[in-house]
C-alpha cells in the first residue's frame, strides 16, 4: 500500500512539475520561397511576427505584380511587392502560429512557421488541406 501511495505521489509530482519552457527558434530575416520567385521578410510587428514580400527574383510585369486573384475586387489592383502575407504569428511551443495569405490563389490560411536548422518551414492549411513549403535563408 505504501509503495503504491509513494508511486502515485511521485507521478503526481512529475505531472505538476513545470517543464522547461520550449521556445520557437527565431524566424526573423529574409527567406527565399521554395518556388524561387520571391523573398519573404519576416519581421516583428508588435508582440508577434509578420511576413511580407520583400522582393521578386523573377521579372515583374510592367507596372508591377498585382493581387489579381484577390476575392475582393477592390484589392485586385494593389501591388504585391511589400504586401504583408503573414500576420499574427505568435510563438506556440517550437512554432509560430497565425494567419497567411496566398496571392497566387487569393486565399487566407492558417499558418505555422518554424525552423529546422537553416530551413524555414511554412505550413498553410485551408480547412483540412495543408501544404508545407521549405524556405531558405537569403
What does the block give as the cell for 65?
A: 505584380
State the residue range of the domain holding 52: 2-137
pLDDT single digits (tens) 57-92: 999 999 999 999 999 999 999 999 999 999 999 999
Count CB-CB contacts under 10 A for residue 80.
Answer: 18
Q: pLDDT band at residue 21, thresholds of 50, 70 and 90?
A: low
pLDDT single digits (tens) 101-124: 999 999 999 999 999 999 999 999
Number of domains the chain contains: 1
Q: Distance between the two ends of the chain, CA-based, in angstroms?
A: 62
Q: Is the pLDDT of residue 20 over 50?
A: no
The contacts of residue 97 (CB under 8 Å, 6+ apart) are: 89, 90, 110, 111, 112, 113
Check residue 23 and give its pLDDT. 79
Percent of residues, the chain, with pLDDT higher than 90? 82
Check residue 24 and give its pLDDT. 84
The CATH number given to whatever domain includes residue 15 is: 2.40.128.520
The contacts of residue 133 (CB under 8 Å, 6+ apart) are: 33, 34, 35, 121, 122, 123, 124
Could you give the angle at the alpha carbon of 118 between the alpha carbons of 116 and 124, nearest 5°?
55
Amino acid at each position: 500500500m505504501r509503495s503504491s501511495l509513494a508511486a502515485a505521489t511521485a507521478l503526481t509530482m512529475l505531472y505538476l512539475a513545470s517543464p522547461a519552457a520550449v521556445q520557437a527558434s527565431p524566424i526573423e530575416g529574409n527567406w527565399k520561397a521554395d518556388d524561387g520567385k520571391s523573398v519573404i521578410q519576416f519581421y516583428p510587428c508588435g508582440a508577434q511576427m509578420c511576413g511580407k514580400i520583400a522582393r521578386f527574383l523573377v521579372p515583374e510585369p510592367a507596372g508591377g505584380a498585382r493581387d489579381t486573384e484577390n476575392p475582393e475586387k477592390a484589392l485586385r489592383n494593389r501591388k504585391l511587392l511589400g504586401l504583408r502575407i503573414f500576420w499574427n504569428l505568435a510563438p506556440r511551443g517550437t512554432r509560430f502560429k497565425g494567419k497567411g495569405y496566398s496571392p497566387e490563389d487569393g486565399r487566407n490560411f492558417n499558418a505555422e512557421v518554424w525552423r529546422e536548422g537553416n530551413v524555414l518551414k511554412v505550413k498553410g492549411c485551408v480547412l483540412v488541406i495543408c501544404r508545407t513549403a521549405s524556405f531558405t535563408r537569403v
